[in-house]
Structure 1
Amino acid sequence: MYFVMNLLGVLVVMGVIFLISPNRRGIKWKPIAVLLVTEVIITWFMLGTTVGMAIINKMAAFFTWLISCANAGTAFVFSSSMANKQVDFFFSALLPIIFIVTFFDILTYFGILTWLINKIGWVISKISGLPKLESFFAIQMMFLGNTEALAVIRDQLLVLKKHRLLTFGLMSMSSISGSIIGAYLTMVPATYVFAAIPLNCLNALLIASMLHPVDVTKEDDVVYVPPKEDKKDFFSTISNSMLVGIRMVIVIVAMVIGYVALTTCLNGILGFIYSGLTIEKIFSFIFSPFAYLFGLPAADAQYVAKLMGIKLATNEFVAMMDLKTHLHSLAPHTVAVVTTFLSSFANFSTAGMIYGTYNSILGDEKSAIIGKNVWKLLVSGMAVSLMSAMIVGLFVW
């Protein structure tokens, strides 16, 4: 029965997105079906085979090393802060963005990352029939995270037609940053964090194709490549990457502080109206039906709905810290679905981060496309998290 509920959940989420899509007639169903089949195969490979589990372990080791490199730079400047047992979010999650952007820009400079993304993106584009740049961006998010991926393709965003910019905003709600994977791994099982990464990226492509279907002509279906004469020397490139990284950190800090503060303010107002009422409780009530569609017993469904509300109203860190204290008492299926669901940036502050990133790259006029469609970003992010969690749930009982 629970398995049937979990399977039904996938269909319900897709049905809801279909009903609220402003352009239902423009949805291309063949790519949607191809992406779903691809996700099922990938999930089975990661969670059901020895080779898949070995790859996840290697990925965990690589990102742990990458973050340790970033932390070495942060510790040189903020040695006393990094020496604390509990490092602040600013130091552990945001400052590493400077190194992450620089590291992947170096790989791009030498053509390594470009080659890898092009090959995988080309495969995704061919099997799904979706545009090349959108397919490549989904793969970029798998390696970089959302704001970092936007920074890396900043030259491409500058030459895109306006109607396509929203697609990348919708997709950006659904990934996680390599700079904070290490922090996740201290709280929740690594297996489901790394399972969520590719699923979130493919589901971002799937949901965006339903929520904002866009026709891309053959002439526009290209990946922008800067002319060779525009390519800067190596040291200018990495210096510029570091400056891009710190600008992004500043923008993200402003957005996170502002949205968390607004949530606290709103909770105060709601509590004045009705004692104990918070935005988290309201969202947990809204998400309760979807928690049951994970295929969970009643007690677990109520707890998971609470975590879903906490994640949307604040962030996934707060929810994961709560989950960490309950892992031992939850069934394997519950742990799998809730960890996968929480392993993404889908919340109000992320919408602000994306708007801030667009604003820093594209300016006020073009970034308005994000400000006018915040509800679509939130729906997209939550739908992707639900889809990824439900697909993982099919394989863990």
Structure 2
Amino acid sequence: MYVLINIIGILVVLALAYVSSLDRKKIKLWPIAVMVVLQFIVTWLMLTTTIGGTIIKGVAAFFVFLIDSALEGVAFIVPDLVPQDGSGTMFFIGVLLPIIFIVAFFDILTYFGIMPLLINVIGWILSKLTGTPRFESFFAAQVMFLGNNEALAVTRDQISKMSDKRLLSMCMMGMSCVSASVLGAYMTLLDPKYVLTAIPLNALGALIMSSLIVPYTVSKEEDVVYKPSKAERKNFFDVISTSMLTGGKMALIIAAMLVGFTALIACINGILGIFNDSLTLEYLFSLIFAPLAFLMGVEWTEALKIARFMGEKLATNEFVAMTNLKDVLGTLKPHSQAVISTFLVSFCNFSTIGIILGSVQALFGSEKSAYVAKYTWRLLLAGILVSCLTAMVVGLFVH
């Protein structure tokens, strides 16, 4: 039964994107169909085959190694707070502080051209398979690994020469991005196989939603990918020191957001409790998102519980939702675990819209920012639909 409901859910998600399109006449259905099929293939490969299992175990082990290495650095500063067996560490120590090293590690890979090569290869393959423009495919590959700020910043020279519609499309993709620097943190809170499956599905989903909501045609002359010159490369030690400072700021920002949003939810619940003891923000979220959870194939008995975390992610951020989900994840059915875990793996929330608009303002000026701001609700809708599509596709393969 859940398979039929999941399929209906996928069709509903695609229909909502179609209805929200800026120009339905320009939508090319064949590339979209190809990308949906690719999502099925990727999910089947990652979750049901030996090759996929080996990939997941290898990548997960690699991130465990990175986190263990990071904890060596943390232990040098606060040895009493890092147990030698790696167990029982506080969230800030065991999840957030390792981000400092992981950011630096991936920036080193970028400095030596390893990450750009990987992104270029994936972007080229996506472009050939899906028929989408090269730069859009390249950008979709970037959002698999970079934050929305970084993805826009590193391609700013080329995007600045593009049409407003193409810029809007990039911003929509940015709503579904993650950052390689937080993948280790995600994997301490969720099953790594769902984290690693969601990342490529989100990239394909971002291309699908942008193709439906902001369709346009790119000429051969415009269909190029910008390559930074050697002169733009910074000194290696500048890169490392800047990366570590960036990682430190990121850890503190995430910690501040978690403290602030958790306290805000508690405050709101306290106010709501004045009117009704059982009325909470989580309950309101569950009512709003329960129909979407049901369309993911979640049994109605668990739909309200799943919907709560969907709403938390949207209103706060994925870390708040993941942290709260971790405590009850084991009580959920496998299908419910799969769909909510994959739904949470992206930066799609209200604050991300502000981050993207701020980045556009800083990188491309007020006129571009004003244009993107006109379609704020479409940015949010695109991000939600990508997360829903990812969860629904994964749900087809998990009983």
Verify same fold: TM over 0.5.
yes
Match of 2:175 in 1: 173
Match of 1:110 in 2: 112
* Identical counterparts, % of pairs: 51
Structure 1 residues 28 and 249, CA, compared in 2 at 3 Å: closer, same or farther? farther
Supply the distance in 2 between the matched residues of 1:5 and 1:13 (Cα, whole angstroms). Answer: 12
- Measured after TM superposition, the shift of residue 299 of structure 1 is 0.3
Structure 1 residues 97 and 5, CA, compared in 2 at 3 Å: closer, same or farther? same
1:191-270, aligned counterparts within 5 Å? 191-238=193-240
* Counterpart check, 1:32 vs 2:32: yes
- Measured after TM superposition, the shift of residue 220 of structure 1 is 1.9
Greater mean alpha carbon deviation, residues 215-224 or residues 363-372: 363-372
Supply the distance in 1 between the matched residues of 2:132 and 2:353 (Cα, whole angstroms). Answer: 24
Q: TM-score, normalised by structure 1?
A: 0.84
1:1-397, aligned counterparts within 5 Å? 1-70=1-70, 87=90, 99-238=101-240, 280-359=282-361, 361-362=363-364, 364=366, 366-397=368-399
Structure 1 residues 323 and 129, CA, compared in 2 at 3 Å: closer, same or farther? same
Structure 1 residues 102 and 156, CA, compared in 2 at 3 Å: closer, same or farther? farther
Supply the distance in 2 between the matched residues of 1:97 and 1:269 (Cα, whole angstroms). Answer: 35
* Residue type at the aligned position of 2:179: S
Structure 1 residues 282 and 215, CA, compared in 2 at 3 Å: closer, same or farther? farther
- Measured after TM superposition, the shift of residue 59 of structure 1 is 1.0
Structure 1 residues 355 and 17, CA, compared in 2 at 3 Å: closer, same or farther? same
- Measured after TM superposition, the shift of residue 394 of structure 1 is 0.6
Supply the distance in 1 between the matched residues of 2:77 and 2:367 (Cα, whole angstroms). Answer: 36
* Residue type at the aligned position of 1:178: A
The one-character-per-residue Cα deviations of 1:29-64 (angstroms, maximum 9, x if unpaired) are 111011011111111111111111110011112223
- Measured after TM superposition, the shift of residue 73 of structure 1 is 5.3
Supply the distance in 2 between the matched residues of 1:196 and 1:114 (Cα, whole angstroms). Answer: 21
The one-character-per-residue Cα deviations of 1:348-391 (angstroms, maximum 9, x if unpaired) are 12223333444554455544444443312211111111101110
* Residue type at the aligned position of 1:319: A
Supply the distance in 1 between the matched residues of 2:163 and 2:97 (Cα, whole angstroms). Answer: 32
Contact 1:105 1:152 in 2 (8 A): no
- Measured after TM superposition, the shift of residue 124 of structure 1 is 0.4
Structure 1 residues 338 and 254, CA, compared in 2 at 3 Å: closer, same or farther? closer
Secondary structure (helix, strand or coil) at the match of 1:391 reads helix
Greater mean alpha carbon deviation, residues 373-382 or residues 53-62: 373-382
- Measured after TM superposition, the shift of residue 208 of structure 1 is 1.5
Contact 1:2 1:296 in 2 (8 A): yes
Greater mean alpha carbon deviation, residues 34-43 or residues 244-253: 244-253
Q: TM-score, normalised by structure 2?
A: 0.84
* Residue type at the aligned position of 2:191: P
* Residue type at the aligned position of 1:10: I
Structure 1 residues 99 and 154, CA, compared in 2 at 3 Å: closer, same or farther? farther
Structure 1 residues 312 and 369, CA, compared in 2 at 3 Å: closer, same or farther? same
Contact 2:99 2:182 in 1 (8 A): no
Structure 1 residues 244 and 319, CA, compared in 2 at 3 Å: closer, same or farther? closer
- Measured after TM superposition, the shift of residue 15 of structure 1 is 0.6
Contact 2:20 2:378 in 1 (8 A): no
Supply the distance in 2 between the matched residues of 1:218 and 1:70 (Cα, whole angstroms). Answer: 45
- Measured after TM superposition, the shift of residue 260 of structure 1 is 7.4
Q: Which runs of 5+ in 2 are unaligned?
A: none
The one-character-per-residue Cα deviations of 1:86-107 (angstroms, maximum 9, x if unpaired) are 6466x76666666555433433
- Measured after TM superposition, the shift of residue 121 of structure 1 is 0.8
The one-character-per-residue Cα deviations of 1:195-221 (angstroms, maximum 9, x if unpaired) are 111111111111111122233222222
The one-character-per-residue Cα deviations of 1:84-134 (angstroms, maximum 9, x if unpaired) are 956466x76666666555433433333322222222211101111112122
Matched residue count: 396
